[in-house]
């Protein structure tokens, strides 16, 4: 067979393949067939007006004296009671003869934040008064070094005696910080109502300590740290919901997710289950959830739409054209509105 005849056959095959493809990969729109076409148009119906859910006058009623930015910070970081309770419990379990008060725990947190601003090679240098180079009146004035290190050595967020050992049913890698995360998550959701556009993505918390939770992601600016899933308000970046990634074998999703059996049978991928879990507080309010192709899937979008949620995702379409002995593979990364 001549070369011209081979070329003609290949061109004819390519035309037949192109004619058999009825969709455009750059403008494809997914739409489930089992939904009623007469469903009324979506409207944004949040539980309350977007923005802060507490006003400064209301906060001032809870505060005795002058209102300061510290009071707003403590409103979204209400962990003092948890730290006091669990730290004293751990100290008692170790037969440590001390009980820390709430003001002492608050002072300890203030020192930790200050140490992030003023860094020295050794923490003991903060209390050095005789050295001209390392002389910090703030640290020596408000708290003694013995009290600070006593709190540091006993600091706990959960009762470690109740932790299920590794390898046994019910083991939770996040047990020691789960109560802490629940307190933060609840406070952030009670303090602020996001606008309609929200997004789900992963972020890295810088951390170099020794833990099984530490991840290395080469493409991230922060390569070493703890990976966290977060649902954030798009305009401001406010974190409305979050969760730490504990590994494929470390999650206990089926025990903790509020997922019905029918939804559980559909959402199989890690990304889909993550979006479903983070979006639970916003269900039924017609929020617009944006995500990249790691999280997006037709099954997830269908389930979200059934709960009155709009979904937008970045998808990778694979468009294959056969041309005789050649295979042309074209990857198109497009952002599309699914519903």
What are the residue boundaries of the structural domains of the chain, listed by start? 52-161
Q: ∠31-32-36 over CA atoms, to 5°?
A: 105
* pLDDT score at 217: 84
Say what the pLDDT of residue 65 is. 67
pLDDT at 6: 44
pLDDT at 133: 78
**DSSP secondary structure of 129-174:** -S-SSS--HHHHHH--HHHHHHHHHH--SS-GGGPPPTTSTT--TT
- Please give the pLDDT value at position 193: 94
User: What pLDDT, on the 0 to 100 scale, is given for residue 229?
Assistant: 94
Helix 80-93 to helix 145-154 angle (10° resolution) is 80
What per-residue confidence (pLDDT) applies to 260?
A: 63
Give the pLDDT score at 156: 94
pLDDT of residue 262: 64
Alpha carbon distance 206, 325 (integer Å): 49
pLDDT along the chain (339 residues), means of 10: 50 42 40 37 79 75 72 86 94 89 94 92 87 82 92 94 88 90 94 93 89 86 91 94 79 49 73 90 90 85 78 56 38 39
Where are the strands (E) in 12-87, listed by range?
51-52
pLDDT of residue 299: 83
Tokens describing residue 144: 């003694």
Beta partners for residue 199, in sequence order: 232, 290
pLDDT the model gives residue 92: 93
Inter-CA distances, 320 with 29, 230, 326, Å: 18, 35, 10
Structural tokens at position 237: 């970046």
Assigned token pair, 90 = 């751990």
The model's pTM? 0.75
Q: At what angle do helices 298-306 and 270-278 cross, to 10 degrees?
A: 20
């Amino acid at each position: 067979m001549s070369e011209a005849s081979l070329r003609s056959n290949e061109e004819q095959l390519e035309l037949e393949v192109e004619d058999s493809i009825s969709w455009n990969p750059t403008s494809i729109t997914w739409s489930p067939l089992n939904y009623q076409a007469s469903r009324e148009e979506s409207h944004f119906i949040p539980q309350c007006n977007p923005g802060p859910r507490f006003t400064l006058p209301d906060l001032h009623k809870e505060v005795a004296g002058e209102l300061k930015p510290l009071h707003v910070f403590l409103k979204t970081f209400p962990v003092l009671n948890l730290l006091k309770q669990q730290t004293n419990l751990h100290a008692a379990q170790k037969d440590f003869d001390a009980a820390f008060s709430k003001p002492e725990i608050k002072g300890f947190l203030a020192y930790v934040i200050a140490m992030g601003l003023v860094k020295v090679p050794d923490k003991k240098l903060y209390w050095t008064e005789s050295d001209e180079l390392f002389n910090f009146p703030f640290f020596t004035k408000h708290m003694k070094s013995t009290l600070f290190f006593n709190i540091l050595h006993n600091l706990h967020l959960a009762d470690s005696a109740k932790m299920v050992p590794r390898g046994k049913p019910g083991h939770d890698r996040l047990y020691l910080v789960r109560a802490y995360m629940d307190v933060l998550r609840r406070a952030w959701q009670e303090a602020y109502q996001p606008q309609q556009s929200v997004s789900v993505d992963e972020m890295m918390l810088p951390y170099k300590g020794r833990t099984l939770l530490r991840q290395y992601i080469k493409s991230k600016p922060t390569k070493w740290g703890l990976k966290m899933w977060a649902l954030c308000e798009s305009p401001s970046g406010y974190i409305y919901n979050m969760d730490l990634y504990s590994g494929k074998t470390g999650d206990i999703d089926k025990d903790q997710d509020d997922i019905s059996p029918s939804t559980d049978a559909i959402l199989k991928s890690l990304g889909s289950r993550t979006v479903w879990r983070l979006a639970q507080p916003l269900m039924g309010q017609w929020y617009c959830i944006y995500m990249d192709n790691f999280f997006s899937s037709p099954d997830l979008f269908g389930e979200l739409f059934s709960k009155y949620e709009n979904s937008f995702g970045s998808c990778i379409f694979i468009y294959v054209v056969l041309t005789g002995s050649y295979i042309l593979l074209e990857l198109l990364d497009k952002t599309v509105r699914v519903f």
